[in-house]
Amino acid sequence: MKLRLALWLLGWLLKRALHRKPRFAEQLEKMRGLDFGIATEDLSIARHYRMTPTAIHSGKGLPTNLDLELRFADADTALKVLRKPTSRAFFDGMRHNKVRLVGDSADMTRLQKLLKHL
């Protein structure tokens, strides 16, 4: 339940940042948008985010046409990594097979740069 709430709250924070933080909106404009999703490995908890320079939409589940997916072994691991989303946390999670990145790692770097402005 905590992970579901955290993922919903992330969508709310992204939408708020688009309207209130000019640096966030500027970075998103440079990227021309990004679609990503976060889920547990068994897909029991999943949420996706579609970001464009004009709007951000989020919803349940993981569509097949996302640029980037972050899959976590379980909800506890996801919460632990997402609370402090540093490169080191993701690298350690991948090394221990707790985090799986589906997509281009360059998109992950773009996402981390964008999330710094939340």
Question: Hey, what are 51's tokens?
Answer: 């970001």
Which phi and psi angles does 49 have, rounded to 5°? -135, 130
Q: What pLDDT sits at residue 31?
A: 87
Domain extent at residue 57 = 2-115
Instruction: In whole angstroms, give the CA distance from residue 38 to residue 60.
Output: 10
73 burial class (0-12, 13-18, 19+ CB within 10 angstroms)?
A: middle
Q: What pLDDT sits at residue 99?
A: 92
Q: What CATH number is attached to the domain comprising 82?
A: 3.30.1050.10
Q: What pLDDT sits at residue 9?
A: 94
The count of structural domains within the chain is: 1
- Residues with pLDDT less than 70, the chain: none
Instruction: In whole angstroms, give the CA distance from residue 46 to residue 70.
Output: 10
